[in-house]
Structure formats: C-alpha cells, structure tokens
Structure 1
Amino acid sequence: MTALTARWVVVDIEGTLTPTSQVHVVLYDYARPRLGPWIDSHPRDPIVVDAVSAIRSLSGLPDSANTEAIVEVLHGWMDADQKIAPLKTLQGLIWQRGYADGDLVTEFFPDVVPALRSWHDTGLDLAVFSSGSVAGQVASFSRTTDGDVTSLFSAHFDTVNAGPKRERPSYTAIAAALNAAGPQIVFFSDVPAELDAAAEDGWQTVGLARPGEPFGDADFGTHLAIKAFAEVSVDLP
C-alpha cells in the first residue's frame, strides 16, 4: 500500500467513485426526455432563463429559437459528451428532482464509501471536482446505495465555479478556495489529462485504473495508478 499525507482529498466522480455507465446510461437517459419539459415548465426561473440564453449564444441559435431547437442542440452535446456549462446546469436541476423523488439512486464502486468515511473520520477534508454541476453532485450524494453521504464533503467544484478539468488554472482556483497549497491536496481521477493539469499546480495525484472503465488501461505516466482506493492510504501530516 502506498502512503500519502495531505490536508485535502479531492475526488472526481465518473469512473472514480461511480461506474461511467451511471452517468452515460442512467443519468443521461433520465435527463434526455426531460430537458424540453423542464425548460417549458420553468419559464421564469432565472437559472433556466440564463441557461437557455447561453445555449442559444453558444450554438448560434437566434433569440427566437424555440424549445425544440434548443433541445436538439442539447441532445447533440450529450451525444458528443460535451462538458458545456448550461447543459450541465439543466441536467443538474433535473437530476436533483430525480434524486429527491426517489427515481435515481447513485451506485458507488464497493471500495469508495469505506475509503471516504475513513478519510473523513481521521480528520481529512473532502471535496469534489466534477464536470457535473454542484447541484447535481450534492443531489447524487444525497441518495446512494450507501445512504446519504453529503456530510462527508466540505466543498464542491464544477466547470462553472472552477473551470475546465484539464486546465491548470482550475486547480489553482480550487486550491485558493480551499486555502491550501498544491502539495497539501491529493486528487483522485480516472482521466490522465486531469491529473496532468492538477500536477502542474503542484497537487499530489492518483489515477484510478478501474478494470472495465474507459481509462482502465490508460497510460498514467508518472502518476501513481491504482485499481481501488484500498491500495493507498491518506493521512494528515
């Protein structure tokens, strides 16, 4: 087992805490048919209004574009797995309702919650950095096969409040928000390019090479690579 010391543990979600299929199949399939109805049923919600405006702007649609045209753009972004902020915002709102209504339940890899609880109980602070919206993150942690685990996390970051996951400035911004220096943070992700960006800011990095996942056979280069959290320990300095 590899032993690390840190003040903060920051974790990715998809492919790290949950199977990729949890997002690409379960959550995407849940959100896809609900995007249009959600937009139409929340015409005065400022979050929805801003998201729709951003979608029109980013896609080149005219201000007069109707919901059908907007949804067509959103479905195209989903098919291409684009991490675009207004899409993530709308998905997060829909998922939030789905978890609250009991339609959705998050399934973690078996090693995840024992590790998270152990780190939390030893005094480490935990945070999330995911392309999914903060609202979606909190909702997904509120109803899981291991119960409500929202209390384990002290901070949440997404591409809106931090920035793109494959760019160094995003990690600089997160470190500042956590009031921590890069070496005081260890970041777990299944995507080598994300680990590269974090390492550029001085973070400690660990790659999750989970069998059967898209990056299970990836080249993690100089990053420590593990197949499960049980292969590494993290303690306070």
Structure 2
Amino acid sequence: MTIKAILTDIEGTTSAVSFVFDVLFPYAAKHLPDFVRQQAQRADVARQIDAVRQDSAEPGADVERVIEILLGWIAEDRKATPLKALQGMVWEQGYQVGQLKGHVYPDAVDALKRWHQAGYQLFVYSSGSIQAQKLIFGCSEAGDLTPLFSGYFDTTSGPKREAPSYQRITQAIGCESSQILFLSDIVQELDAAREAGMATCGLVREGGELAGHLNVDSFSQIDPATF
C-alpha cells in the first residue's frame, strides 16, 4: 500500500541526542526552579504543578518540593508529562530570547522539505511535549520548519514503546496504518509501530543495528515510495 504519511521521532532521528542532553536538559534544569517559583500562580503552570503532586503521590507538596521532584525527574530522564510540559515552557522563553536554537540534521531538513513538496503528510511523535517539538522545528538553525508538519504527538498519545499508542496516532492521522512510515532510532519503538501495522525505518546515525527493520544512517537514503 502506498505511503501517504511519515511519522518521525526527534531525538537521535531528526536531531542530535547531544542537543537534548547537552543543551536542552541543562538549560531546563538551570532555569526551571525560578520559572516555577515565579509563575506558580499562572493557570497552565499551576495545572502542571498539581499534576506533579498527583504523579508523585505527594498531594501536599509545596512549590519547593515540587521543584525538587522535577529536578529528580530531569536527572533520571523520566518521561513524565507534567515535566515535559514545564520544560517546554522554560525552553520557549529560551528560544524567544535567542538563547536556544533547535538542532535538526541538514539531511533531515532536506528530506522533510522534499517529502512535503511531494505531497506526503508529515507528523512528529516524540516523548518531548508538543510545545517543545514545535519549538525545536520552529526555532531551528535552518529556520521555521513548522509549515512542513501536519501534526504533532507526544506522551499524551501513550508510551512510545507500546503498539496502542501508534494505533491511536493512526486514528488521529486518518489513514490506514500501512500507509504510515515511522522513523526512529529506538528498536522498541519501531517494533511497537510495526505491531500496529505501520511501515518502519530505523536511523543508525552512530552505527549499530536496529534488528528486524530497514536501517539507514541518513534521511537522504529514505525513499517513501519504496515501502
């Protein structure tokens, strides 16, 4: 069946893992405490603070304890939705003042533009919040890439290593699962997408093998028409 949509991961796929771990995470860890203290009464921030209390089973946690929990989650790279949301708010400020620029591999930029022009619908599925995804592509070193994308998905669609998440995304995209090509650098994610009926392609930019899937080391090697 002909591929109509391409769903891509970010970290390790369109963008360097080092950008997330060496730039974004340290920036959030440095600026998040003061951001939470200063914006705790803001409605969208207050909702996420309450979600941290709920997720950590500490309903009585004060703001300083919530900050402590969040920093712990950052240190262990926990895929917690309220953390991702708050990180996204902090990063937004960094992008707005020019302290951050999103990293996207040049081969990914070229391919995404080419695929968009060819009529493929492009979507993102990342453990980072939708807001953070839009910032990486909207404030990228290559300029604003958001016009290329038709939609974004994060952990609110479910864990990335579970097939039902990809089934929900398929329903949201509105085509057959076999018409969607999923790109990732994590074999468990590729396995889950394939279990949900999607075509898959693994990115091995640093070498290695993603067993059971087509492997490439650059977006330039991916031709959606061959799937």
TM-score by length of 2: 0.95
Distance in 1 (CA, whole Å) between partners of 2:54 and 2:138 is 33
Match of residue 123, structure 2, among 117, 122, 127: 127
1:139-154 equivalence runs, <5 A: 139-154=135-150
AA in 2 matched with 1:84: A
* 1:114 counterpart = 2:110: yes
Contact 2:104/2:137, CA 8 A, preserved across alignment = no
Work out the number of aligned pairs and report it.
Answer: 227
The alignment status of 1:207 with 2:202, answered yes or no, reads yes
Give 1:148 deviation, angstroms. 0.7
The alignment status of 1:159 with 2:159, answered yes or no, reads no
Stretch moving more, 145-154 or 92-101: 92-101
Match of 1:55 among 15, 40, 52: 52
Partner of residue 179 from structure 1, selected from 174, 177, 180: 174
Structure 1 position 193, deviation (Å):
0.4
Q: How far apart, in 1, do the equivalents of 2:183 and 2:16 lie?
A: 15
Aligned partner of 1:11 among 8, 29, 37: 8
Aligned partner letter, 1:171? Y
**Partner residue of 1:230?**
220
Please tell me whether the aligned partners of residues 96 and 140 of structure 1 are also in contact (alpha carbons under 8 angstroms).
no
Aligned to 2:66: 70
8 Å contact 1:36–1:67 — kept in the other structure?
no
**Larger helix share, 1 or 2:** 2
Report the Cα distance in structure 2 between the residues aligned to 1:46 and 1:92, rounded to whole angstroms: 15
1:60 CA drift (Å): 2.7
Q: CA deviation at 1:7?
A: 0.4
Q: Which moved more, 1:85-94 or 1:30-39?
A: 30-39
% identical equivalent positions: 41
Q: Which residue of 2 aligns with 1:31?
A: 28
Q: Deviations over 1:81-137 (max 9, x none)?
A: 111100001001111121122110012222110000000000000000000101111
Let me know the Cα RMSD of the aligned residues.
1.6
Distance 2:98 2:226 in 1: 37
Deviations 1:160-219 (A, max 9, x none): 1x11111111101100000011100000000000011100110000000111xxxx42x4
Please list every run of 5 or more consecutive structure 2 residues that lacks an aligned counterpart in the other structure: none
Secondary structure at 2:122's aligned position in 1?
strand
User: 2:46 is paired with a residue of what secondary structure?
Assistant: helix
> Offset at 1:236?
9.6
| Structure 1 Cα separation of the partners of residues 159 and 15 of structure 2 | 20
Q: What is the aligned partner in structure 2 of residue 188 from structure 1?
A: 183
Q: TM-score, normalised by structure 1?
A: 0.91
Q: Report the Cα offset of residue 25 of structure 1.
A: 1.2
- Residue from 18, 40, 44 that aligns with 1:43: 40
